[in-house]
Structure 1
């Protein structure tokens, strides 16, 4: 995202029931960020004609997540539903679906297309209108539950001041509202750095090796000998980088040519071009909002490269967070 945010729509404490917890073929837990990008695109398309706003990106702060899985033990399994019998009277097959209950705050970058965002009253009216509209949507496959009506969790459309000091005060005030919680940001830089570190040890190492290494906890045995020649064994968890790093899907990469509408049988929409793709992966980090220096650091946006067949999401956390250092 080349330009910094001027307006930010805050939709606080949305309670989502039965959101999709299987974010990709290789990851599970919090929904993929592409699900939230899709949600705000659907929201933008369904805005009334007189509401002339453009949504330019989305940030997500998770306050609570409750995966619907069995408790206890090392291996967990999802709670599955028993579907009704089929038309022949036989038991229908069980399709594994992962679900989770969420409580999140959505932060949407807003651009004005002729909409008056100068007055506080007009901004708050728009925020309340959009917040009410979200209550009837589905986000990440889950249902948005009705708001609890707590006054401290009111929606807000913030217009950031051009003065840098005032802008920082506005952001500091918002950061306190987002606590407790964690924001998911992109750490492509961590993946690149760890890939280079592994290649320095083994020339055959790949980005996949680095991704898998960062996705797990590596327990290493350390043996020390004391002054009496007695060995002491200590197991430690090796972490290449500090922080709460997680594997995440970030989009899709093409594995076929782009077919014209109607060329591929049984396509979901025969009126648009079709292309076979596979998931793209990277590393994300959960960061407490109070550590973010500016709102741009948590915003996700579409970053496609159509010539290469890459459809992925971007986030400028690494650039905006450390550019002053």
Structure 2
């Protein structure tokens, strides 16, 4: 009985220690690792959400980019970091739901070594071409691809990235072919589209400013709903590709053993921030849609995406860099 009493007392003290630790957190700056290049959707969303978190929690939230291997380098760094709440990951959901299908020898398991903390935004993907492209609309683009099989090219933030899969879905459903050019982030891909090095891409929203400036033309949105930022641009579903949905959810992840009390605290603060007019407008300005979710809902979204994209990846023979 004494042993049982001591064990019970130890467990109670341990639980109280975790709660106390969560109440005291954060005592120092929090590092937010972005596993894609500066300028892309993950990077911009990290910087948008870092400001209100810093204001609410009283410590700097420092953004640090660690791109490479489709997000795996940054993901591994966080998965192997101390689970004390001072190292978080801002990533596309694809790193968790897609990468295990395309990288057979990952050095960590995103589903086991990371936990979802807080969804930040739903990221629609916008089909864009240069303003001087002869394709004035979606139908014209498809006609051009069919007339020039394998001669046109599209960019993406990397092999197996959500924009890459969106383009694979497009070519599959339209019976067309195009050359895939992977980059180390959405911003480098956009830069090469502007420079005329590639013909089209599915952009996570950073191209909207160039569309408004007349440098690019937006042909469609790869979502089931029109984007609030571009209400006159039709969805691919409306244009005949029924059920076409390539949306991704970007958000914060943490090492798997991080205390749930800290997870809940971060989630609550992120959701609070997403409800403010300032944060909402900043997210919408870069073409995204605020998406407050519980950690469980965020995790369920990743699991659903893993199922629906896994079949496409196997069918198209997509592999990592």
Greater per-residue helix proportion: 2
TM range (shorter): under 0.3
Give TM-score scaled by structure 1 length: 0.21
Give TM-score scaled by structure 2 length: 0.22
Q: Which is higher, the Rg of structure 1 or of structure 2?
A: 1
